[in-house]
Structure 1
Amino acid sequence: MILDTGVSSAIDNLIYQYDFYAHDSSAATTETHGSIVASQVLAADSEANIVMLKVAADGSGTISLAAADAALDWVAKYAQQLNIAAVNLSFGASSVVSRETVTSLSDEFETLSNLDVAVVVAAGNSGARSGVSALASDSNVICVSASDGEGTFASFSNRDADLTDLVADGMDIAYMGSVVSGTSFSAPLVAGAIAEVKSEFYASYGHELSSNEALHLLQATGDALNRTGEVAGTSASAGSGYVELDLTGALGAVYDLAALAALGIVV
């Protein structure tokens, strides 16, 4: 499930699209952002079904929070029917905050959390070392910062030892002849990874892995980041999110009963 600028090119496994900005059934756009985000979800889980909900003005790429609010209400309405594992928001409010913040989307985030839908939000690209986008700071979302894919934070990435939940490669992402970077492209890797580990867990054991358990698994199997020069956190769990996504390691743990037991995950 993706809230973004819409669809600019063919997307594998696209099962539904809707434009919550213009209120019609086509999410088509000239903006490439949403399609790149979708490609990153599929890079983590090639079998994921993609739903694209357009929440931006065509031609400008400017996100409408009112459209996002309506789209999230739609996600909550159909969460169980569509068996939605995760929803990705690769956009944020302009402000950078260093504490949990309530925004206009907080009610929807809480509703989705109660429905066990993982809400994954990009941390933002202001280069802050002690703050993230206000949307990403919400207590009911998974905040994703960007790395270079080799254990070091991307210089542009917002991060916060108390707020970042996971880090994923967001550097030099190739798409249809162009190369892009940003936390926008780290977040969907995590959304896809959550869908993938939940799917594999269900296939192996016949019952659902919760979103919180999936995140815990991804954190526990992630790779340590270089924290030289990083700002220390203030909470007891500060820095727990400063690990880089290792999906191969996470999938290995799904099949390892001892590893699951050590994480308190019941099979």
Structure 2
Amino acid sequence: MLAARAFASGAVANNFFYVLTGFNGSSYEVGNDHFNGSVWASGAPIPVGHSQSKAAAVGNNIYVPGGYNSLQFGGPIDLMQIYNSTTNTWSNGMNLPGTRSGAAVAAFNGMVYIIGGFTLPFPTGTDTVYIYDPVANRYTTGAPMPAPAGNVPGALLGNEIFVVGGSNSATLAHYAYNPATNTWRTIAAPSPPDCQGGGAFALNGELWLFGCLGEPGMNVNIYNPGSDSWHAGPPLNVSQEGGSASGVYNTRGF
């Protein structure tokens, strides 16, 4: 990448893998780095820098809901920042119904799902499911997650959004959400079960989980939905924590 950062958001759009936002050790990143399979380039910076957000693409637009900015906002924020990868411009959607950081974010059938996350007073975990309609620029709510969690990785696999780990004083998330039926089910927990601030993506019919805080930094856990079980994946080349910017580009997971 062009700028080092942790707790960034990532998405694939317009045949690029994008890494947005994050924390560089002293300030919140506004950088917009994108990868075409061989080289990185920079795009228009995000208007409000922050960390601990996730992103999802609908068409050529990337949606970045919420995030954490203690310098300007005192913690979690409620912005919906939208990047048009065709015109290289940013706009704002309707603000989230509540402040959120560390939520799981995924797109399904043209909608953006914002699941769980921290709110104020920080770190208060939430169980909410906000569903953003980009066309109508409005939110509806889905069935709440069975337990609250923040800094929770999540990804769309098949027709379900899988939400795994996170942080809350009493509970951890190991669930799959079906947007079509608006229902949740419990899945097997990885070992260790408390993946915070990591990345997740779906590849070859399985869910990949990595970059978790407090775990051996090269660990990769892979979930097989057919057997409802986890197995170890190939270790990362470089140890990391907070590698939350993730996606699948040209059959490769990032």
User: What TM-score, normalized to structure 2?
Assistant: 0.32
Of structures 1 and 2, the one scoring higher in RCO (CA 8 A, sep 6+) is: 1
Which of the pair has more CA radius of gyration?
1
Greater strand share, 1 or 2? 2
